[in-house]
A and B are shown apart, each in its own frame.
Chain A
Amino acid sequence: MQTEIEKTRARQRARHHDFLRAILIIAAFAIPIIAALTFYALLNGSLDSIQAFGFGFLTGTAWVPNPPNGGPPILGALPAIYGSVVTTLISLLFAVPISLGIALFQSELAPRRLRLPSIFLVELLAAIPSVVYGLWGILFLVPFMSTYIDPGLIGSLGFIPIFAGETNGLGMFTAGVILAIMIIPYGAAVMREVIAAVPRSQREACIALGGTTVETVRIAVIPYASTGIIAAVVLAMGRAIGETMAVTMVIGNVARISPSLFLPSETIPSVIANEFTEVAGNNIYLAALFELGLILFAIAFLMNLIGRVLISRLTFHGGTSVNV
């Protein structure tokens, strides 16, 4: 038998509960709303450009927003797409092995006392703002590359078109290097989480058979973590392709498709960053920049979705869950 007081208390509790639940649910809608707004704003803003250029936008190589003869703008995204793809590939070339090395160092090799400090230092590298990387890039890395690295590559490998030509340090190669530095901490952190989820018993079995450290890594750790490592690469790729400030500051910003990695070029985000406030009432031009944003969003969205789905699958294969 409940007394009146108990009933009132139960009602109050239920009300509190409903109130809390309502607040939490309302807040939780913010995230889907932001996602929907993002998609809507980009698609709606791009309509003029999609109508004007169709699929030709993706293959067009000219970027003439204000033709001298006063005709309609001729805008093709291929130079920016090309620059984004090439710089991202260069960055992965450096970042994937180094990230994997760091992750293995931190999870398999580092002495107990050094493990947390080494993770801390790499996290600090991740905390440096993009624009500071850009400042360091344009004032230190660009002169360094044009004095020491690029001439060496041109001298020794110049017969290959990608290393041919001259250099002033601004271009896809330097952009790729700075991108690599920027995604290494993220890639290393995701790979470390994935490797940490490999059960101890896997390693112990290999060690019990007389395996050395490298054999344990090769036979017991990497195969188990391979899906997660691929996911880490995909996620890092998504980061690299959307990185704006540092790349904009070192790539030179010229719409061109050239095999040489040393010529000034551009990427999708760098075009948006440079030109968005300069459209001055040119609606098709503005819409084309929105469409570049839409393409960028689609690529980054896809990369993230693939990476996340791969990682969420890992949890079902036994072992501890992966928090990424």
Chain B
Amino acid sequence: MAVYLDGTEVEEADGLERAAELLAEAKLPVIAGLMTDIAGAQSALALAQKIGGVVDHAAGEGIARASRLMREGGMNPVSFGELRNRSDRVVVLGEAPLQADPDLLTKIFPEKTLPRPGDNPRELIAIGCKPKGVPSSAKSSKVDLGNQSLATGISMLAAAVAGRSFGDGESALGKSIATAAKKLKDSAFAVFVYSPLELDEPSLHVVLDMIRELCKDTRAGGYTVAAPGNGDGVNLCSVWTCGLPVRTSFAHGKPEHDAWRYSAERLVKSGEGDALVWVDALGGSDVKPPKGVPTILITNPGQAAPRAAKIVIEVGVPGEDHDAALYLPEISGIGMIAGKGKASGLPQVSDILDAIGAKLNAKEAA
């Protein structure tokens, strides 16, 4: 491993010492990115509690939105296994789901499924996306939104499902929406597939309301595309640790969650946050840390220049260099991925964060 301070390689102990000083001096340290495994998330939460900091995730925007929806009105999440085995009508909303996993349709529509309700053939209903390679095990239909937005399409569909009138009912789009709504009402188990990152908040509410409407007579639910960078795993860990999702501050004793106030990007840009620990350890992400405050960057070798941050610390990739608990979309929960290169000798994210915590303890004791 290597540790860099101001672009120059230093001894690990010196680098960690300097990192601890930086955090000890900060008024509001921010621990974010958090593209790491559960062990890394646990250590990040422990460190945030110790130093009165904030935790956020690189996908915090979408996670916070989904969290707010959940606590405002609840949700009907469907596991990937149930989606794959028992759904008859699958509505894909927007482009994000198929972008996130190009093989998604093959996985959703296998040749054979477990026993499933009803006798409808399985069918994909695409709204606001252009599916390619729909497996032969499924029928496929598309709602062409024309020049209307996805949000409008979702609202029209929800109105049609609830039996309410909506504008443009006589247009081609209106008719296409009405056909899709009828299919949903006649379904035995309809599942909506979407990404909370792509849909705005009102649209997400409309989707969830539509699911609840369908549930009155049949079975329905939503399958959300997993947040990148183990966002769902890190968020679950935050919830079981302190009762709140990411974008939570420990600065005032009790944990406090605020999706806007405790966004890492906002805190750094506004200057409210004055030190940043950014963890980008799952093989390198396109999401880069917000700039403007002294930063401790914890990442994999080759992912950042030594000068990319005040302090750069190299760690292994969870699930490659070491065994790791990560959110796995295929089980809609946390699973274990065995490491392949146990001889890499690289530390884990949790090792580094715990070591910084230990240095802070030593400082307090001194």
Mutual binders A and B? no
